Chains A and B, each alone.
Chain A
Amino acid sequence: MIKLTTPISDEEIRALKAGDTVLLSGVIVTGRDTAHKFLIEHFIKNSVSAEEKPFHDELKRLFDGGVIYHCGPVVKKNDDGSWTFVAAGPTTSIREEVYQADVIRYFNLKGVIGKGGMKERTLQACVQQPAVYFHAIGGAASLIARSVKEVLAVHKLEFGVPEAMWVIRVEDFPVVVTMDSHGTSIHDTVEAQSKEKLAKLLA
């Protein structure tokens, strides 16, 4: 079992191979559909407005060597105004395929956590950056929520609870590397093998 803590170095990323199981610790940030669209439109494709500059700079800092998590959690607001993650499994990553490579490059992300895997553009960005795709176990929401030790901040809560960007500190978050920085994707392998098998079943 490999243990990694954010920020993660290029050397640590290059050492990872598809199939490795990793326990991830440190600060990570959630972001899914609305967040990715926002990052592209407001930070990457267009110049950053004065109003958004503080958030932009904060994200630059958090994402440098950092990890984005495709997750729309169930959260509870405590009496003292703080938040607790109640359930926090991954959401399907493929919806972010059109955005992910640009987000990885712009922010120098070292990892993307999600489920279901991603495609060619993201895999290329993983090879170049370098970065990896960490697969969390879909649906294991109560178990993963236990590895969320602290909610440090929430940005863009106006997107709604699932779509907001939650800054969290995790400890020993269990993930599997399914796309590494050497161009190997377990998703591509399994898809190719199952395609062959399907052809036989339909022959």
Chain B
Amino acid sequence: MNRLNEVDLTDHFVELFRRASTILPDDMRQALARAKDKEEPGSAAEGALDTILRNIEIARDNSTPICQDTGTPIFEIYYPLGVSTRKLADSIRRAAAIATDRSYLRPNAVDSLTGENSGNNTGIDFPTMHFHEWDEDKVHVDLLLKGGGCENVSTQYKLPNARLKAGRDLEGVRRVVLDAVFQAQGKGCAPGVLGVAIGGDRGQSYIKSKQQLLRPLDDSNPNPELAALEERIHQEANELGIGPMGFGGKTTVLSTKINTLHRLPASYFVSIAYMCWANRRAHMDVQLHNDAVEVSYD
């Protein structure tokens, strides 16, 4: 039995929700500020980015949600041997209800049959949680708040795709990802971030694509082929000229992150997780030090 099981993490998860909902990561804020400087002075695109940057400040200073759609909370939880994942899940659900009560989260969990909103962000498989056991003697939590507008323009392609002349190779991947950005127009709250997964079954492929959104914007893909593709798609997506909010402009995508999974010989899926400019990710580490709980965020 791991002694971390004796720690009630509920309040810490509430704080993690607060940070994710109200504080945009600094790399995102800086990328948006650079994008604003690139737009024509006085254009609708520049105005949109100016409003976005002011909103980020107001949300941070007042601990109010950056966006009213506080999204699907998606947790990636890394835990050492012997820590109860059931206990962690219970504290996350309790924390979701408290965070809703404090207006860090909008009540966002709706029963698909009755249409009834549970009122506290808990429900069937809600929040989403993925647990990973690891060797380190601490619990690490990544939280992503994935909004509905950009989720609705996220998509999956099955290659080959005749319409786009996309075969089962990286050129095919490039073609379908650019098509996804075109189809999304401004509806995913551009300028967004693209998380792309190549391979897998349909379900795992989507999960992997969303996990790419947790990567820092300035990391470099260890695979040189994928690194080159990330850079090329990033540039070409911006050449589409869709711009902030779809008003037309120079920045449509802030970053592209690609990863792969093994696939069946018969299947070749490309999943694209479109994330809005409010790429709300927060991280937490929990460990015991001389019997005292140490919690750090980021």
B106 A161 Cβ-Cβ under 8 A:
yes
Are the CB atoms of B110 and A142 closer together than 8 Å?
no
Chain A min CB distance to B242 (Å): 5
Question: From residue 57 to 87 of chain B, which have CB atoms closer than 8 A to chain A?
Answer: 58-59, 62, 64-70
Across the interface, which residues of A come within 8 angstroms of B110, CB to CB? 160
Among A39-47, A60-68, A82-90, A125-133, the one that faces the other chain is A82-90
Give the residues in chain A near B246, CB-CB below 8 Å: 116-117, 186-187, 190
Query: B241 an interface residue at 8 Å Cβ cutoff?
Result: yes
How many residues of chain B get a CB closer than 8 Å to chain A's CBs? 54
| A115 CA / B55 CA spacing, docked (Å) | 16
Chain A, interface residues (CB within 8 Å), range: 35 or more
Minimum CB–CB distance for B26 against chain A, Å? 17
Q: Does B52 contact A (CB under 8 A)?
A: yes
Q: Which residues of chain B in 212-250 are interfacial with respect to chain A, using CB atoms and an 8 Å cutoff?
A: 236, 239-243, 245-248
Measured between beta carbons, the chain A residues less than 8 angstroms from B67 are 87, 89, 138-141
Does B287 count as interface, using CB distance less than 8 angstroms? no
- CB of B134 closer than 8 Å to a CB of A: no
What is the chain A residue whose CB lies nearest that of B165?
Answer: A202
Distance of A137 Cα from B243 Cα, bound (Å): 13
**Which residues from A are CB-within-8-Å of B277?**
139
Q: How far is the CA of A190 from the CA of B242 in the complex (A)?
A: 6
How far apart sit A181 and B276, CA to CA, in the bound complex (Å)? Answer: 29
Residues of B near A162 (CB, < 8 A) are 68, 106-108, 117
Measured CB to CB, the nearest residue on chain B to A203 is B165
Which parts of A9-51 form the interface with B (CB within 8 Å)? 19, 21, 34
Q: Please indicate the chain B residues that have their CB under 8 angstroms from the CB of A110 in the complex.
A: none
- Cβ of A141 and Cβ of B55 under 8 Å apart? yes
Given contacts A76-B103, A160-B117, contact A201 B236 (CB under 8 A): yes
In the assembled complex, which residues on chain B have CB atoms less than 8 Å from the CB atom of A179? Answer: none
- A73: nearest chain-B partner, CB-CB: B68
Residue in contact with A202 in the complex, picked from B48, B108, B164, B187, CB distance below 8 Å: B164
Whether the pair B245, A193 counts as a contact (CB closer than 8 A) is no
Q: Which residue of B lies closest to A144 (CB)?
A: B55
Do A194 and B189 touch (CB < 8 A)? no
Encode contact with A along B26-39: 1 for CB under 8 Å, 0 otherwise.
00000000000000
A190 near B68 with CB under 8 A, answer no
Contact flags A163-184 to B (C-beta < 8 A → 1, else 0): 1000000000010101000000
- Contact between chains at B185 and A87 (CB < 8 Å): no
Evaluate contact between A160 and B186: CB separation under 8 angstroms.
no
A91, CB-defined interface residue at 8 Å: yes
Q: Is the CB of B149 within 8 A of A91?
A: yes
Chain B residues near A117 (CB-CB < 8 A): 185-187, 246
User: Could you show 17 A-B contacts with beta carbons less than 8 Å apart?
Assistant: A34-B115, A74-B65, A74-B106, A87-B68, A115-B245, A117-B185, A135-B247, A139-B52, A140-B55, A142-B55, A145-B68, A160-B116, A162-B108, A186-B44, A189-B248, A197-B241, A202-B165
Interface residues of A (CB under 8 A from B): 19, 21, 34, 71-76, 86-89, 91-92, 94, 115-117, 135, 137-146, 160-163, 174, 176, 178, 186-187, 189-191, 193-195, 197-198, 201-202
A-B residue pairs, 10 tightest by C-beta? A160-B117, A116-B187, A143-B55, A138-B189, A87-B68, A87-B65, A140-B55, A142-B59, A141-B68, A139-B67
